[in-house]
Amino acid sequence: MSTTTVKEVKTIKTLNNIAASGLNVFKKGNYTMDDTSNNPDAILLRSFNMHGLELGDKLKAIARAGAGVNNIPVEQCTAQGIVVFNTPGANANAVKEMVLMSLMASSRNLFEGVSWTKTIATEGDQVPKLVEAGKKQFVGHEIKGKTLGVIGLGAIGALVANDALALDMDVIGYDPFLSVDTAWNLSRNVQRAMTLEQLFAESDYITVHVPLTEDTKGMFNKQAFDFMKPGTQILNFSRGELVNEIDMAVALEEGRIGRYITDFPNENVLQMKNTIAIPHLGASTEESEENCAVMAARQVKDFLETGNIKNS
Ligand code: MLT
């Protein structure tokens, strides 16, 4: 049994799995700067924000149980020789299911329909009549034959693209980071957009699966919306900051964007017309939490014991 200690910052249901992987785990709900006096060798975390915190002098690794690492000060870690891991692909299926479910629910006005039906609960024997009115009010669209633009064809984007094809959608993809060969090995039957503008112009629905970087921040802005068809629906299960919210609010108001479905609501988003706001549930399944926690624990254990850096 290793004598290495790993600090688990946020409760992960699968703590037993982490412990079973041979690490000593100690757990605390609230991590403060004082806690660095515990001096862990590694930190496993999910949503906890490490920016602005001192990193302990024994700290060798931080592993994010998820794909995005924007809650970790990666540059500071690199400067201090601390390895940062994420868990690519471990939550991809959960996010894919959420994206496709939201896409279908949105195109059938299901989110609004379900909320509205609750509001007629006190109408007594008028409920059946009102239900028939709702039937007319919430007529939707089928996704078959519509074009889905997928930006980012990594683990999540490729799954979304391939399954959207199986739902008889036309799928067009663009990846700003992966080499063309890598992206197209992941999603062979997807039509390739030569430019982002082409994808914007041809899509009825756009889903984004890229990390938040200086280059991708605010990539959904007025200029981008101007390329899109009127009424395009945008799904964002990646990071809120990819969208310029001021431009989005205007585009929604003008009907240029038909709907903004986001896993990252804040007070601005909640006030916008035609937003579907989801409380960051994209990767929140028991299966995905288990996969991410176990992968993060394995990576860290392997690294601390052997020096191997394997981000998979
Ligand atoms: C991710 O970066 O993979 C997700 O945000 C994971 C999560 O829900 O914590």
Active-site residue (options: 51, 75, 214, 267): 267
60 Cα–ligand 1 center, Å = 22
Atom of ligand 1 nearest to the CA of 67: 3
267 is catalytic: yes
Asked if 76 and 105 sit in the same domain, the reply is no
Asked if 130 and 208 sit in the same domain, the reply is yes
Q: What is the pLDDT along the chain (312 residues), one digit of tens a residue?
A: 334 555 544 444 445 555 555 555 555 544 444 454 467 888 888 888 889 888 888 899 999 999 999 999 999 999 999 999 999 999 999 999 999 999 999 999 999 999 999 999 999 999 999 999 999 999 999 999 999 999 999 999 999 999 999 999 999 999 988 766 766 666 677 898 989 999 999 999 999 999 999 999 999 999 999 999 999 999 999 999 999 999 999 999 999 999 999 999 999 999 999 999 999 999 999 999 989 988 998 899 889 989 999 888
Q: Whose CA is nearest to atom 6 of ligand 1?
A: 66
Question: For residue 32, is it within any domain?
Answer: yes
- CATH, residue 58: 3.40.50.720
Asked if 235 and 246 sit in the same domain, the reply is yes
Q: Could you tell me if the CB of 281 is within 6 A of ligand 1?
A: no
Domain count, the chain: 2
Asked if 139 and 238 sit in the same domain, the reply is yes
209 is catalytic: no
59 Cα–ligand 1 center, Å = 23
Atom of ligand 1 nearest to the CA of 68: 2
Question: For residue 311, is it within any domain?
Answer: no
Range of the domain at 12: 5-90+286-306
Q: Is the ipTM of this complex over 0.90?
A: yes
239 is catalytic: yes
289 Cα–ligand 1 center, Å = 9
Asked if 63 and 167 sit in the same domain, the reply is no
Q: Could you tell me if the CB of 68 is within 6 A of ligand 1?
A: yes
241 Cα–ligand 1 center, Å = 14
Work out whether the CA dihedral 280, 285, 287, 289 comes out positive or negative.
positive
Asked if 75 and 195 sit in the same domain, the reply is no
Asked if 103 and 172 sit in the same domain, the reply is yes
Q: Could you tell me if the CB of 292 is within 6 A of ligand 1?
A: no
Question: For residue 58, is it within any domain?
Answer: yes
Q: 23 and 5 in contact (C-beta within 8 Å)?
A: yes
